[in-house]
Amino acid sequence: MASSKSGSWSIELGQESTAPQSARRALVERLPALPLQVRENALVAVTELVSNAVRFGRAPIHVRADLAAERLVLEVEDEGQERPRRRVPAEDGGIGLNLVHLLTDRVEISRDRSRVRCEFDLAARRGAPADPDLYEIELIRRAGTSRIVLRGDIDLSARRELERLFAELDRSPPGRVLVDLREVTFFDTTGLQMAHRLDRWGRENDVTVVFTPGSEPVMRALTASGLALRLTFSDAAEDLG
């Protein structure tokens, strides 16, 4: 339960694809006055840690937060036996903990249990909270070009629909793919893996894959993962229309 004096709270989540969204919602609702940059980084971190617990851990998943005068502490723990570890990013994963290390000020990974603790410095400007929950993935085919329009939160819950998207592209590959990121409001490792996979798919199938630049949080995630250097971006009028 939340404590107004200490700024502490905890929640227990199941091993479900909606768990990261639930963790983000709790963070925004219970800590609405976080500085904007800290909040954005904390949203990414809690999403990645909970997503890892869903994919590799064991329920229940415990999320704890403690807000003090100068720092925010987030902790995610599950009942699994395997210790979380950083690894080289690849198509099947490895980006999440790297992002957490990049976006937080301190990370501690427990040696004897599946638990990660991270800290955030609160020295940043404050902003209004936001809580976008929905996502939409639209595929538009036009004369040799497939336009993929992504909207809302692209996280673990969007994975199934992204798999259908790739199956459709494999069924009838176009000559060019344009990925429109302008309406994406949140991007975690699911979105990063999608971008990496689309780029690799294009190279393997001799299909040009181009991305429109996204919002600042989306581009920050792409930059932190190294994908911004690999992907091809376009802000040409014909691609933005």
Query: Does residue 128 surpass a pLDDT of 70?
Result: no
Per-residue pLDDT of 2-25, as tens digits, reads: 333 458 899 999 999 999 999 999
Give the pLDDT of residue 131: 41
Q: Which domain holds residue 100?
A: 8-121
Closest CA to 27 of 52, 47, 56, 48: 47
Cis amide linkage into residue 20, ω under 30° from 0: no
Phi first, then psi, for residue 106 (nearest 5°) are: -160, 140
pTM confidence score: 0.72
**CATH code of the domain covering residue 23:** 3.30.565.10
- Asked whether residue 128 is domain-assigned, the answer is no
Q: How confident is the model at residue 157 (pLDDT cuts 50, 70, 90)?
A: confident
Last residue of a domain, one of 86, 121, 156: 121
Phi-psi bin for 93: left (phi > 0), alpha (psi -120 to 50), beta?
A: left
Q: Alpha carbon of 25 to those of 28, 84, 148, 173, 179: distances in Å?
A: 5, 24, 27, 37, 27
| Bridging pattern class, strands 71-77 and 115-121 | antiparallel
Q: What value, to the nearest 5°, has the Cα angle with vertex 196 and ends 191 and 199?
A: 125
What average pLDDT score do residues 88-101 get? 73
**One domain, residues 159 and 100:** no
- Asked whether residue 1 is domain-assigned, the answer is no
Overall number of domains in the chain: 2
**One domain, residues 96 and 185:** no
Give the pLDDT of residue 120: 92
- Asked whether residue 126 is domain-assigned, the answer is no
Query: Does residue 199 surpass a pLDDT of 50?
Result: yes
**One domain, residues 32 and 103:** yes
Q: What are the counts of helices (DSSP H) followed by strands (DSSP E) for the chain?
A: 7, 9
